[in-house]
Amino acid sequence: MAVLPPEATFKDFVSYTESLRGPMEPVALEELWEWRKKLLGIRFDTGRGFRTQLPVSEQHLTREERGRKAEAEAKAAGRNIERLPDKAYF
């Protein structure tokens, strides 16, 4: 087994870990098991939920591209747009 699957039990984890590192104390194995559970609980925010709220034509665009598109649409509508610098301080 190359990598331990996320749904592995503690018994599977112990046998996998000892096959890689050799015999270990139960306390060390329990600490590693707790770290493993914490690491498996990490989720990354990719912005997918926010993008579903956008119009279909803008869901694939980055924030910068959406800004440029909104600016172009405003200029096409005859509005005078002055962009702030990317790092504006108020």
Q: What is the pLDDT of residue 23?
A: 93
Residues 6+ apart with CB under 8 A from 66: 54, 58
DSSP structural state of residue 57: G
Cβ atoms of 32 and 17 closer than 8 Å: yes
Instruction: Name the region of 49 (left: φ>0; alpha: ψ -120 to 50; beta: rest).
Output: alpha
Rounded (5°) CA angle 24-28-34 = 130
pLDDT averaged over every residue in the chain: 88
Summarised one tens digit per residue, pLDDT across range 23-68 is 999 999 999 999 999 999 998 888 788 888 988 888 889 888 998 8
Structure tokens at 44: 């990354």
